[in-house]
Amino acid sequence: MSSQTISERVRPALAGFEPYDPAFSPCNINLSANENTHPLPATIATGIAQALVDTPLNRYPDPLANGLRDELAAWHGVARENIMVGNGGDEILFNLLFAFGGPGRALVVAPPCFEEYKNFAKMCETDVVEVWRNPADFSLNADALVEAAKNAAMVMVTSPNNPTGDLMDSSLVQRLLDNTDALVLLDEAYVEFAREGSSLIPLVANNPRLMVLRTFSKAFSMAGLRCGYLVANQEVIEVLAAIRQIYSEDVLAQAAATVAVKRRGEFAPVLASIVQEREYLCKGLAELPNVVQWPSQANFVLVRLPHAAEVRARLRDEYSILVRDFSYSKGLENCLRITVGTHEENERLLQAIGQLIKGD
């Protein structure tokens, strides 16, 4: 009797996937994962602690997190029916492909961008069409994107984009909606760090195929919580509600995120500080020889410098500073992505990188 190995039994579309590797090593300063390096504001932390204590754990969560949906809806000026909450933005991205992708359908992406779009598409047996950005300045090839989207089920674009930091033009989003029949997912994971008025959530009301993704992982300092949400047309939300893991958003995450939304004004000083620190970091990087950087509206900066992989390893090993190495990724040769930290973290990063570059 012949017996298949375990790996032979894996669904063919899922063969060859590896566990996600965040490339983490313990370091004193972690600027590698685009997290908010500030802890929660103390007043919010206290409010959340109380909410968690008050949350019974013996009962199942509200599957759709309606209390949180109502707070988010009030904030964004939409209805509860326009919001879906998920276990991080990742879960929503996956569910969108699970629901609207599949064999014979295509997802269009514009790399370099968040790799998970492509991974989730492949898991859901969805074809991936890549419209590469201009290699020199990472600008989008707008005409090619619109052309590709004409034959696609969905487009995923990012504003600000990870890892390049640029905002997506609202006119290009509108062009995608007006000139194609694709669903358009606009990923705004980092939009709270961008200039006022950058979010395109207001366009959702008049564009039933536009879906905007947001997360508590970045501006809200809660990457460990696992909570994200989608703002979209009611019909999209109903589909997602029907196919999701029923209890993916646990009671503690719902309680904590609800406090954060109600008291979102208290995050303003941290956001202002990160934006100010981004300018400080960029100015410091600009003074270093042979370091190219791209303008960023996010909480990270992409840089290109000679021997990037070695610089990254020495930052980690000699200075205990962790940044993300993209030097082996297509289109990102010799590139590192640096998360904007606190003033002290940025100062130490600039000093260290300066010393390494000058060969001290």
User: Is the Cβ of residue 98 or residue 114 nearer to ligand PMP in the bound state?
Assistant: 114
Provide the token pair at 263. Answer: 């008291």
CB of 24 to ligand PMP, least distance (A): 13
Q: Which positions from 106 through 135 interact with ligand PMP, judged by CB under 6 A?
A: 114
CB of 351 to ligand PMP, least distance (A): 27
For residue 299, give the DSSP letter: S
Applying CB under 6 A, does 158 fall inside the site for ligand PMP?
Answer: yes
**Placement of tokens 């990923």 in the chain:** 187
Applying CB under 6 A, does 223 fall inside the site for ligand PMP?
Answer: yes
Q: Are 155 and 145 a contacting pair, CB within 8 Å?
A: yes
Measured CA to CA, the distance from residue 133 to residue 113 in angstroms comes to 9
CB of 235 to ligand PMP, least distance (A): 23
Provide the token pair at 107. Answer: 């997802």
Provide the token pair at 326. Answer: 């993209």
Three-point CA angle 13, 23, 228, nearest 5°: 65
Applying CB under 6 A, does 250 fall inside the site for ligand PMP?
Answer: no
String of contacts with ligand PMP for each residue 69-108, x by CB under 6 A: -------------------xxx------------------
CA dihedral (147, 149, 155, 159) positive or negative: positive
Applying CB under 6 A, does 166 fall inside the site for ligand PMP?
Answer: no
Provide the token pair at 41. Answer: 């504001």
Applying CB under 6 A, does 299 fall inside the site for ligand PMP?
Answer: no
User: Is the Cβ of residue 36 or residue 158 nearer to ligand PMP in the bound state?
Assistant: 158
Provide the token pair at 2. Answer: 């012949």
Can you tell me which of 72, 185, 189, 302 binds ligand PMP, judged by CB under 6 A? 189
Can you tell me which of 37, 217, 248, 299 binds ligand PMP, judged by CB under 6 A? 217
Measured CA to CA, the distance from residue 206 to residue 353 in angstroms comes to 47
Q: Are 233 and 100 a contacting pair, CB within 8 Å?
A: no
Measured CA to CA, the distance from residue 180 to residue 241 in angstroms comes to 26
Applying CB under 6 A, does 37 fall inside the site for ligand PMP?
Answer: no
CB of 4 to ligand PMP, least distance (A): 34
With b for 16 or more beta-carbon neighbours within 10 A and e for fewer, the 327-345 pattern comes to beeeebebbbbbbbbeeeb
User: Is the Cβ of residue 72 or residue 350 nearer to ligand PMP in the bound state?
Assistant: 72
Q: What is the CA radius of gyration of the chain?
A: 21
Can you tell me which of 228, 271, 296, 356 binds ligand PMP, judged by CB under 6 A? 228
How many residues make contact with ligand PMP (CB under 6 A)?
13
CB of 101 to ligand PMP, least distance (A): 17
Measured CA to CA, the distance from residue 181 to residue 140 in angstroms comes to 20
Strands (E), 144-294: 154-158, 183-187, 210-215, 228-231, 292-293
CB of 354 to ligand PMP, least distance (A): 28
Size of the chain in residues: 360
User: Is the Cβ of residue 301 or residue 350 nearer to ligand PMP in the bound state?
Assistant: 301
User: Is the Cβ of residue 217 or residue 346 nearer to ligand PMP in the bound state?
Assistant: 217
φ and ψ of 349, to 5 deg: -65, -45
User: Is the Cβ of residue 82 or residue 158 nearer to ligand PMP in the bound state?
Assistant: 158
Applying CB under 6 A, does 345 fall inside the site for ligand PMP?
Answer: no
Q: Which residues bind ligand PMP (CB under 6 A)?
A: 34, 88-90, 114, 158, 162, 187, 189, 215, 217, 223, 228
